[in-house]
Structure 1
Amino acid sequence: MAFLGLRKWPTPFVKPLWPFMAAGTITMYLVAKAQDSGIRSEEWRKDARNPYAAQLAKESLH
């Protein structure tokens, strides 16, 4: 007998959740790339609020 849809023996963790893990990984990667491109954009490169402004200024000198 199943209690609230749960089986007597637990199912493996990765098997039913692999699509969600893959989608989460892809989403995190794309958000990180969008953030990096936004920080490095010409509009925000010299802005005082950009925490990476000093680092980007050093990179642009080379």
Structure 2
Amino acid sequence: MAFLGLRKWPTPIVKPLWPFLIAGSITTYFVAKAQDSGIRSPEWRTDPRNPYAAQLAKESLH
């Protein structure tokens, strides 16, 4: 008998989803690396549309 829809044993949530969690974290890592290399490229380093231009200019002075 189920009490309010709960079973006697827990329903697995993480166990069947671990490949998707790993793939999502790897994808997030590589997208972040691509974005970082894109904003630090010489072509976009001094572009006024780059939101990190001031921070990159400060780092290049050191």
Is the TM value for this pair above 0.5? Answer: yes
- Stretches of 4+ moved more than 6 A in 1? none
The residue that corresponds to 2:4 in the other structure is none
* Residue in structure 2 matched with residue 30 of structure 1 by the alignment: 30
User: What is the TM-score with the length of structure 1 in the denominator?
Assistant: 0.83
Q: How much has 1:11 moved relative to structure 2? A: 3.0
- For structure 2, the residue ranges without an aligned partner over 5 or more in a row are 1-6
Q: Which residue of 1 aligns with 2:21?
A: 21
CA RMSD of aligned residues (A): 1.2
- The count of residues paired between Structure 1 and Structure 2 equals 55
Q: Report how far residue 10 of structure 1 moved.
A: 5.4
Sequence identity percentage:
82
- For structure 1, which runs of at least 5 residues remain unmatched after alignment? 1-7
Letter in 1 for 2:51: P
Deviation sequence 1:9-46 (CA, Å, 0-9, x none): 65311100000000000000000000000000000000
* Residue in structure 1 matched with residue 40 of structure 2 by the alignment: 40
The answer for the alignment partner of 2:55 in structure 1 is: 55
